[in-house]
């Protein structure tokens, strides 16, 4: 039987995944455009992590060569979040999350290339299943193609920086990594803002409106600093397989939350949910097949 402590850990893990599933919704609740939103989110997260590091007395110094690698990953994170929130704003939270559901499958292909591992046949099969799900959505939701393409691109960048982060966490404190990545992501958004505004003949929206300040504090504090620090603690106590399997439920929680909060605005066609279902099935099958494959190798 699962102990009371383990049960609490699993419930907390689902709560963290639920929080992450709500980030696209927060992006819609905040009036700021995607670039300005990413700038403020990463700026607030940088300040939040710096406070946590001061309390925990985590050292700030990182070797210059290593710092450059961390900053490079921060650039990827910034581009990932820009596309993520942009996708939600030009389409819906559900469409954005459907595209983001491809993250773990992208990881399955990127990880072997970066770490020089063999590509597994079942990963190729699951990748084809994801493509079929996207094809169903593209066929019946032509009005949201731009948002879905942005979300899939965001998922690719998410997989890319996750693989690189996996290597960095072996050498540095997660808080050091987060501090410099969030700082770099904030600078990228800040530098890109005037360039974007110039070519699109628009003005930068620095001012917050209405409840923006409240939602931004939740996005930067709860969804980034709190969720990250808790997930790091849970990784010390829960099996990696269980954590990965639960994180795959993020799009499910997010789409359910979007329908509950926005109602008819988030209602999509039956074909959309069919395509999303195909993607989610493949995503949930991946850690199961991966676990069986590792177990088979140990037995043989």
Work out the average pLDDT over 1-15: 76
Tokens of residue 123, six digits: 């990963």
> What pLDDT does 244 receive?
60
Dihedral (Cα; 5, 6, 9, 10), 10-degree rounding: -140
Most confident range, picked from 5-19, 78-92, 165-179 = 78-92
215 exposure class (CB count in 10 Å sphere: 0-12, 13-18, 19+): buried
Burial 1-35 (b: 16+ CB within 10 A, else e): eeeeeeeebbeebeebbbbbbbbbbbbbbbebbbb
Q: Is residue 75's pLDDT more than 90?
A: yes
Q: Could you tell me what percent of the chain has a pLDDT over 90?
A: 16
pLDDT tens per residue across span 238-274: 765 566 667 767 777 888 888 788 876 766 777 877 8
Contact 18, 251 (CB under 8 A): no
DSSP string covering 200-226: TT-----S--TTHHHHHHIIIIIIIII
Residue 137 and residue 154: Cα distance in Å, rounded? 17
Q: Is residue 206's pLDDT more than 90?
A: no
Please state, as a whole number, how many other Cβ atoms lie within 10 Å of the Cβ of residue 245. Answer: 18
Top pLDDT among 181 and 264 is at 181
Contact 258, 229 (CB under 8 A): no
pTM recorded for the entire structure: 0.80
> What pLDDT does 240 receive?
54
Q: Is residue 236's pLDDT more than 70?
A: no
> What pLDDT does 201 receive?
66
Torsion sign (Cα): 285, 286, 291, 294? positive
DSSP annotation of 1 reads: -
Top pLDDT among 285 and 66 is at 66
């Amino acid at each position: 039987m699962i102990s009371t402590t383990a049960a609490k850990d699993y419930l907390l893990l689902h709560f963290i995944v639920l929080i992450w599933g709500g980030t696209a919704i927060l992006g819609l609740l905040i009036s700021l455009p995607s670039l300005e939103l990413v700038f403020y989110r990463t700026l607030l997260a940088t300040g939040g992590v710096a406070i946590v590091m001061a309390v925990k007395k985590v050292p700030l110094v990182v070797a210059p060569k290593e710092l450059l690698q961390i900053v490079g990953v921060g650039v990827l994170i910034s581009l990932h979040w820009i596309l993520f929130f942009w996708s939600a704003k030009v389409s819906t939270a559900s469409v954005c999350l459907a595209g983001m559901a491809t993250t773990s499958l992208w990881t399955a292909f990127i990880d072997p290339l970066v770490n020089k591992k063999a590509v597994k046949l079942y990963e190729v099969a699951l990748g084809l299943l994801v493509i079929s799900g996207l094809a169903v959505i593209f066929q019946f939701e032509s009005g949201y193609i731009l948002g879905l393409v942005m979300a899939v691109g965001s998922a690719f960048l998410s997989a890319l920086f996750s693989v690189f982060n996996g290597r960095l966490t072996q050498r540095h404190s997660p808080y050091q990594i987060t501090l410099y990545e969030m700082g770099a992501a904030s600078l990228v958004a800040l530098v890109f803002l005037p360039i974007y505004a110039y070519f699109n003949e628009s003005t930068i929206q620095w001012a917050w409106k209405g409840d923006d300040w409240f939602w931004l504090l939740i996005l930067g504090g709860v969804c980034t600093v709190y969720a990250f620090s808790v997930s790091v603690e849970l990784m010390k106590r829960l099996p990696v397989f269980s954590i990965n399997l639960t994180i795959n439920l993020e799009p499910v929680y997010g789409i359910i939350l979007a329908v509950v909060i926005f109602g008819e605005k988030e209602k999509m066609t039956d074909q959309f949910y069919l395509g999303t279902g195909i993607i989610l099935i493949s995503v949930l099958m991946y850690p199961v097949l991966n676990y069986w494959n590792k177990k088979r190798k140990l037995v043989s």
